[in-house]
Amino acid sequence: MNPLIIALIAIVALAAGVFVLGYLKAPPDTAYVISGLGKKRILIGKAGWRMPFLTRLDKLSLGVMQVDVKTSEAVPTNEFINVNVDGVANIKISSNPALLERAAEALLGKTRQELVTLVTQVLEGNMREIVGSVGLKEMVQDRQGVAKKITENVVPDMEKLGIEVVNFNIQNFKDGAGTIENMGIDNVEQIRKNAQIAKANAQRDIAIATSNAQQEANAVKVEAEKKIAEQDAALAVQQAEMKVRADTKRAEADAAYSIQQENQRKTIEIAKTNADIARREKEAELAEKEIALKERELDAEIKKQADALKYQSEKRAEADLIKRQREADARAYEAIKEAEAKRAAAEALRFAMEQEAEGIRAKGLAEAEAIEKKAEAQKKMGEASVLEMYLTALPEVVKNAAIPLAQTDKIVMYGDGNSTKLVRDVMSSTDQVVEGMKQTTGIDLAALLSGFAGGKLASNQDN
């Protein structure tokens, strides 16, 4: 490989390594202080890079820390009453850039415990200062105000260290002489005294109010009874007048009621008559509708029965048709199978007969050759001798052709097949043998027979 390329790769790898070693990512609750090379940088919640080996990295936690602040000994108030104060403060290193710079100078390298000790001392000093400037009663009654004064007093000292006071609370005050407790007893007695006085005043006010209320109630009762009597008298007069008017109205109402009753009776009679007529008309209409409905029901029932019978007949006809078709298909299938079986048997028989005929032909050819040789040997014997020899061998030929038929149990023939055709087939086989003899030996047995018969006939005629 080219040395230049190797050098470039080494430089790139070194640069990558330096970058990885110097890469920093500060969390939001920690300040990364990078110092060296004549300058200082602080990272909070962001990424950065520093030169490895040439710069220093320190970390300052920005989390809140709780500090218990207690006076190590009794502190005299402005009333010269010695008290012990117990407080608690929540502090943190400030994220303000200016204060963070101070913290980096004053607190860098300190452990958490060292930081808590330092802050406790500062807080205790300020707390003693504030406690000595206030009275015991103010301290007890306005605890939050005293804590606020302490916080305001300690802030400048804390800012010098780059520390932020989140809050400060006073939890407890104690004194060795029991002054606070006595103040409480005095307050309790004073409160009890005020409560008793208030109770007595309340009871007096209640008695006065009760008496006044009774007087007012009696006056109201007398006035009410007087008004009730006046109202009763007026009511009696009004009732009498109303009774007269009511009787008059009742008489008028009775008369009007009788007249109205008679009119209503007539109206009811007319309404009953009209209702009876309407009812009869409705009954007639209802009867006609029932008759029509019955007719439609009968028509529907008859039509339904006819449709059912028609459907039943159609289904029965379809079933019969399907049955006949299946039976015809079965018969056709059986006929086809039977014809195939017969055809196969015929083919087998024909094949057997052809094979047998070939054997017979071969045998006949062999015998013909023997006869031909015998004929040449007996050439001088004449045609009669040759014919005799062929006629003697011919029954054996026919017998041999018929042997396969004798060994067959059953023969199924198609078309116009019968025993006559079977005999014809056997004779055809015999003719084939004779024809083979003719082709092989050149001797025509039929011509010999014809010539022999013709010679015999001529001889008989000459005689």
Per residue in 267-289, is it b (16+ CB within 10 Å) or e — as a string? eeeeeeeeeeeeeeeeeeeeeee
Same domain, 449 and 361: yes
pLDDT at 130: 85
**432 in a structural domain:** yes
Same domain, 130 and 164: yes
- Whole-number Å distance between alpha carbons of 440 and 366: 10
Say yes or no: 51 and 157 in one domain: no
Q: What is the pLDDT of residue 456?
A: 56
Among candidate residues 13, 29, 62, the one where a domain is terminated? 62
Helix (H, G, I), strand (E, B) or coil at 132: coil
Among 160, 177, 194, which residue terminates a domain?
A: 177
The reply to whether 146 and 105 lie within a common domain is yes
**Same domain flag for 53 and 131:** no
Residue-level pLDDT at 427: 63
The Cα–Cα gap between 463 and 447 comes to 24
> Which tens digits make up the pLDDT trace of 101-149?
888 888 887 888 888 888 888 888 888 888 888 877 777 778 888 888 8
In this predicted structure, what is the pLDDT of residue 333?
Answer: 81
Quote the distance between the C-alpha of residue 206 and its chain's center: 76
CATH code where residue 98 lies: 3.30.479.30
73-94: b (≥16 Cβ within 10 Å) or e = eebebeeebbbbbebbbebbbb
Which of 122, 154, 177 is a domain's end point? 177
Residue 10 lies in a domain: no
Q: What is the pLDDT of residues 312-371, one digit of tens each?
A: 778 887 888 888 888 878 887 887 888 778 777 767 777 767 777 677 777 767 776 776
Query: Residues 6 or more apart from 372 whose CB is under 8 A from it?
Result: 440, 441, 443
DSSP state, 63? S
Can you tell me which residue has the tokens 């149990």?
409
| Predicted pLDDT at 440 | 60
pLDDT at 339: 72
133 found inside a domain: yes
Same-domain pairing of 371 and 435: yes
Q: What residue numbers bound the domain in which 80 lies?
A: 63-177
How high is the pLDDT of residue 169?
A: 87
Q: Judge contact between 57 and 33, C-beta under 8 A.
A: yes
Do both 55 and 82 map to the same domain? Answer: no
pLDDT under 50: residue ranges of the chain? none
Q: Residue 406: inside a domain, yes or no?
A: yes
Bridge partners of 59?
A: 32
* Exposure string for 169-206, b = 16+ CB within 10 A, e = fewer: ebeebebeeebbeeeeeeeeeeeeeeeeeeeeeeeeee
Q: What's the rounded Cα separation, in Å, for the pair 374 and 398? A: 21
Q: How far apart are alpha carbons 128 and 131 in whole angstroms?
A: 5
Cα 244 to Cα 231, 235, 249, 255, 258, distances in angstroms: 20, 14, 8, 17, 21
The count of residues in the chain is 463
- 355 shares its domain with 387: yes
Q: What is the 3-state secondary structure (H, E, C) of 368-411?
A: HHHHHHHHHHCHHHCHHHHHHHHHHHHHHHHHHHHHHHHCCCCC
Q: Does 129 lie in the same domain as 39?
A: no
Does 53 share its domain with 128?
A: no
Say how many domains are in the chain.
3
Give a yes or no: residue 416 inside a domain.
yes
Q: Are residues 56 and 114 in the same domain?
A: no
Q: How far is CA 51 from the centre of its chain?
A: 58
Residue 419 is assigned to a structural domain of this protein: yes
DSSP 414: -
367 found inside a domain: yes
The CA distance from 407 to 421, in Å, is: 18
Residue 26 within a domain: yes
Do the Cβ atoms of 164 and 67 come closer than 8 Å?
Answer: no
Global confidence as pTM: 0.36
The answer to whether residues 82 and 176 touch, using CB atoms and an 8 Å cutoff, is: yes
Residues 121 and 55 in one domain: no
Of 431, 358, 362, 423, nearest in space to 394 by CA: 431
